[in-house]
Structure 1
Amino acid sequence: MELGLTTTLTDTDFATAREKVTAALKEQGFGVLTEIDVQATLKQKLDEDMEQFTILGACNPTLAHKALGVQPQIGMLLPCNVVVRADTADESGRTMIVEAMNPDLMVSVTGEAGLEPVASQAAELLGKAIAALGDA
C-alpha cells in the first residue's frame, strides 16, 4: 500500500500551487480546515531554514461523518493531510510537490473493515483532486 498520492507541478510558484491544490480539493468536496506552515514554524521555533512546506488539513464532511460513525477513534487520523512543498532538487524554485495521505491507511491502521468503503471513496476523491493538478 502506498503511503500517499503524489503529483508534481512544474513551472509554478508556491502560492499558485497552494491555490490550485485548495481549488482541486474543493471540486471533490474537501475543505481545508487547518494549515500548518512548517517552514515558518521551524524557523521560528528552531531557527532552521528549509524549503517552502505547508500541511493542509483537508476534510470532506460527509466522509468524515461516515468514518466517525463506524469508528469514533478515527478522529485521531482526521483530517486528511495534504502537503504542498517545494522540490529541493529544482534550483529554480518553480517545481512543487503535492502529496496527500492515502485514506486506505485508516483501514490498515485500525483493522476496521467497516471503514473500507469510506476510505475507498476518500481515496477516489483525493486521487481525482491530485490527478486534476496534473492536468492544470
Structure 2
Amino acid sequence: MRHCVHRAGYPAQYQGAGFSASPKEQRTVPYDRTVRLAVTDFDAATTAVRQALADQGFGILTEIDVRATLKAKLGHDMEEYLILGACNPPLAHRALEADRSIGLLLPCNVVVRRDGDHVLVQALDPDTMVTLTGLDSLKPVADEATARLDAALGALAAT
C-alpha cells in the first residue's frame, strides 16, 4: 500500500550570541516532507526519485552515499542512505536575489533511505528558508519549491 507521511520535526534548542532558549522556550519546527514508497528495491527507488525531481525542474548537484562514507571512514554499518542535493536553477536564483546568505540552505536536500522493508524519500521543507531567515521575500520562492517538491513526492507515491 502506498501512502504519504508528513511528520513534524523535532524540538530544537536555539543558541547563539546572547541567546539561549530554555527547555520551555524550545520550539518544534516541521522541516521535512516525507513519502514512503511501495518500491522496495533501493536502486529502483533512487532512479525514480531522480526522474521525479527532474520532471519538476530539479537537477542533482551533489550526491552523498552516507552508508558508504560511514563504512569507509568509521567502519560503521548502516542501512542504505543517500543524500541528493537537488537544485531548481530559477528558484535558486530568485532565492539568492532575495538573500545572498540563503546559499547556506541550498541546494534542497532530498534523502532516499531504507526504513525496514520500505524506502523513504524525505525532502527539506522549503518553508524552512522563510522560518529561519524571517524574510517574507522568500515566501513566493518557498511556495513554488514546495509545490514542485510535493508534485515530485506525489508522483513517487503514485507509482
1:108 aligns with 2:108: no
Identify, as 1 or 2, the structure richer in helix.
1
Equivalent residue, structure 1, for 2:97: 69
Question: Which among 144, 148, 152 is matched to residue 125 of structure 1?
Answer: 148
Bigger Cα Rg: 2
Question: Which among 60, 63, 78 is matched to residue 50 of structure 1?
Answer: 78
Runs of 4+ in 1 over 6 A off after TM superposition: none
Cα RMSD after superposing both structures: 0.9
Equivalent residue, structure 2, for 1:135: 158
2:132 and 2:73 mapped to 1: Cα distance? 31
Return the offset for 1:3.
1.3
1:5 aligns with 2:28: no
1:10 and 1:128 mapped to 2: Cα distance? 17
1:78 aligns with 2:101: no
Equivalent residue, structure 1, for 2:20: none
Give identity over the alignment, percent: 53
Identify, as 1 or 2, the structure richer in strand.
2
Report the residue type matching 1:131 in the other structure.
G
Report the residue type matching 2:110 in the other structure.
V
Whether contact under 8 Å (2:36, 2:121) holds in the other structure is: yes
Q: How many residues matched?
A: 131
Structure 1 SS opposite 2:77? coil
1:26 aligns with 2:66: no
2:135 and 2:49 mapped to 1: Cα distance? 30
Q: Considering Cα pairs closer than 8 Å and 6+ residues apart, tell me whether 1 or 2 has the greater RCO.
A: 1
